[in-house]
Amino acid sequence: MPALPVSGGDFRPYEVEVGTGLIASAGRRVLPFLKNRRTLIVTDTHVGPLHAVRLKEVLEAEGIAAQILTLPAGEETKSWEGLKALTDGLVEAGLDRKDVIIALGGGVIGDLTGFAAAIYMRGIDFVQIPTTVLAQVDSSVGGKTAIDHPKGKNLIGAFHQPRLVLCDLDVLATLPAREIRCGYAEVIKYGLLGDKAFFEWLEANDQAVLALEPTAIERAVARSVEMKAEIVAADEREGGQRALLNLGHTFGHALEAELGFGDTLLHGEAVAIGMGMAFRYSARMGLCSQAEADRAVAAIAAAGLPTQMTQIRNAAFDADTLIRHMGHDKKAEGGKLVFVLVKGIGEAFVAKDVSADSIRDFLISDGASA
Ligand SMILES: NC(=O)c1ccc[n+]([C@@H]2O[C@H](COP(=O)([O-])OP(=O)(O)OC[C@H]3O[C@@H](n4cnc5c(N)ncnc54)[C@H](O)[C@@H]3O)[C@@H](O)[C@H]2O)c1
Ligand SMILES: O=C(O)C(=O)C[C@@H](O)[C@H](O)[C@H](O)COP(=O)(O)O
Ligand SMILES: [Zn+2]
């Protein structure tokens, strides 16, 4: 399929390639961006043994000197410690401003490498080779890079767009089923926030997407990237409509923060629950019909994703503690919470007039403790 452009915004345009055999031809594809014919591949301990050596060989066959830096797999690496290890590695590798780093991994490696690229020598280029469904459909595109802070998700970061994104569908074959479901949460998010026809296609094809059937996964990734590219081009810095990509995230990030950013609750699962909550809250407030909310929740659950915080653990989450976490949400303005709510499936909007009391009442009705 033709490359998808991310262009039209106030940033240097770039392309997202979606297809098979992209790592096999990565040397030729990244070469135009490498002035020094050398690079550092940043990966993690799961992806490295599976895909990094092959990428290095492909690059070397094109005359590109490639080193590999492997960081521990998992959300914990999106931290000051992970950033220190990576920036130390960049210094040790002697990379200069004309060099390009390659992020080979999921959203953790992509967000961390993008942030390191944004600050190393005040900014060098990077290429994204996302290896999870989630990273292909969401995190590799759009230039949000960050690490987590114990108080909140992605609190330390920068906008820094990649030069190129290669979404090689072949690498998804080694992905655990739980991670495929996490990626699906961000895929269905696009339908829920702004494309009811895509949502309906997903309702009918969810199992084919989850089974990575070639035409289904290609369509799911391509449509997601297309929607993200359009929104990012219109509003790179989230002054307005980019916030729609945050559907489910105010609730989801609060749950992630409360659980300490480990693997008890993965980001995609948190977003799945958060979207369930956003639809239930919207229905409770009379903004959307109960039938639409039930349909959205049923479609998320049909993919084997959780939709309620009561599914995470037996002990109830404390409503006020969750609201405190929400206070660290980057959408909050002057201490007021901002939520992405819905009028129906495919009709998300940004709500700035949400009272903390109504959220508290909702959280308690949804399983939190008072
Ligand atoms: N920047 C953005 O716009 C954006 C968007 C969405 C999510 N995110 C961030 O992305 C992160 C989540 O990303 P993720 O879900 O990709 O998690 P991840 O990077 O932790 O990857 C998930 C797991 O799969 C493993 N893995 C990755 N590719 C594999 C492969 N091909 N085969 C086998 N194992 C593989 C990883 O080692 C890890 O254990 C979160 O930190 C989230 O905040 C950022
Ligand atoms: O690209 C965006 O914009 C998003 O909101 C995509 C989200 O899926 C992603 O999780 C993002 O990292 C959240 O951003 P944050 O600004 O809420 O930390
Ligand atoms: Zn997300």
The structural domains of the chain, with segments of one domain joined by +, span: 4-174, 181-366
- Asked whether 157 lines ligand 2 (CB < 6 A), one says no
Q: Which helix (H) or strand (E) holds 120?
A: none
**Residue to mutate, 6, 22, 46, ligand 1, most ligand atoms under 8 Å from C-beta:** 46
Ligand 3 centroid to residue 62 C-alpha, Å: 35
- CATH number for the domain running over 181-366: 1.20.1090.10
Q: How much is the pTM?
A: 0.98
Measured from the Cα of 153, ligand 1's closest atom is 43
Cα atoms in the 13 Å half-sphere on the side-chain side of 35: 9
End-to-end CA distance of the chain: 52
Ligand 3 centroid to residue 342 C-alpha, Å: 17
- Token pair of 133 as six digits: 């469904």
**Residue to mutate, 104, 132, 155, ligand 1, most ligand atoms under 8 Å from C-beta:** 132
Complete DSSP assignment for 286-307: TSS-HHHHHHHHHHHHHTT---
Q: Say which ligand is closest to the CA of 246.
A: 2
**Residue to mutate, 249, 326, 330, ligand 2, most ligand atoms under 8 Å from C-beta:** 249
Q: Using alpha carbons only, give the angle 9, 188, 25 rounded to the nearest 5 degrees.
A: 60
Ligand 3 centroid to residue 247 C-alpha, Å: 8
What is the ipTM metric for this complex?
0.99
Encode 290-304: b = buried (16+ Cβ within 10 Å), e = exposed: eebbebbbebbeebe
- Asked whether 142 lines ligand 2 (CB < 6 A), one says yes
**The pLDDT value given to residue 265:** 97
- List, as residue ranges, the binding site for NAD(+): 107-111, 131-132, 144, 153
The reply to whether 4-174 and 181-366 are identical in fold is no
- Asked whether 245 lines ligand 2 (CB < 6 A), one says yes
**The pLDDT value given to residue 1:** 87
Q: Provide the annotated active-site residues.
A: 122, 144, 186, 228, 238, 242, 246, 249, 253, 267
Measured from the Cα of 44, ligand 1's closest atom is 37
**The pLDDT value given to residue 353:** 85
**The pLDDT value given to residue 68:** 98
**The pLDDT value given to residue 65:** 97
**The pLDDT value given to residue 9:** 87
Q: Hey, which residues does 100 pair with through a beta bridge?
A: 39, 125
- Asked whether 153 lines ligand 2 (CB < 6 A), one says yes
Measuring CA to CA, how many Å separate 42 from each of 38, 51, 137, 195, 274? Answer: 13, 11, 20, 34, 30
- DSSP alpha helices (H): ranges in 145-213? 177-194, 196-210
Identify the residue whose C-alpha is closest to ligand 1 atom 16: 106
- Token pair of 306 as six digits: 């959780």
CATH T-level fold of 4-174? Rossmann fold (3.40.50)
**The pLDDT value given to residue 175:** 98
- List, as residue ranges, the binding site for Zn(2+): 186, 249, 267
The per-residue pLDDT string of the chain (370 residues; one tens digit each, 9 = 90 and over) reads 899 999 998 999 999 999 999 999 999 999 999 999 999 999 999 999 999 999 999 999 999 999 999 999 999 999 999 999 999 999 999 999 999 999 999 999 999 999 999 999 999 999 999 999 999 999 999 999 999 999 999 999 999 999 999 999 999 999 999 999 999 999 999 999 999 999 999 999 999 999 999 999 999 999 999 999 999 999 999 999 999 999 999 999 999 999 999 999 999 999 999 999 999 999 999 999 999 999 999 999 999 999 999 999 999 999 999 999 999 999 998 889 999 999 999 999 999 989 999 999 999 999 999 9
Cα 312 from Cα 317, distance rounded (Å): 10
